[in-house]
Amino acid sequence: HASILSCSWSGGSSPNIEAAIRDAGTIGRGGKGSAVICASGNESRAVGFPASHPQAIAVGASTDQAKLARYSN
């Protein structure tokens, strides 16, 4: 029944996790869909999975000047 799912982890993709993200975004909340928010990471490299999934919203760190933090992906 969650409206928003927050994923602060990263790792390799799998068919089961990809299906869970897809299902949450389409059939969550009784067919209305749930937002899937994922951490982009703090390794100063490309955004990894699950934040890179097309149905996820990736979030990262910013500075007080509204710039991407040097350590954020």
pLDDT tens digits for range 1-19: 789 999 999 888 999 999 9
Average pLDDT of every residue of the chain:
92
27: part of which helix (H) or strand (E)?
A: helix 15-31
Q: If you average pLDDT over residues 31-36, what whole number do you get? A: 94
Share of the chain above pLDDT 90, in %: 74
For residues 22-57, one letter each, b for 16 or more C-beta atoms within 10 angstroms of the residue's C-beta and e for the rest, the string is eebbeebeeeeebbbebbbbeeeeebbbbbbbeebe
Q: For residue 9, what are its two tokens?
A: 């982890």
Q: If you average pLDDT over residues 27-38, what whole number do you get? A: 94
41 confidence band (pLDDT: 50, 70, 90):
confident
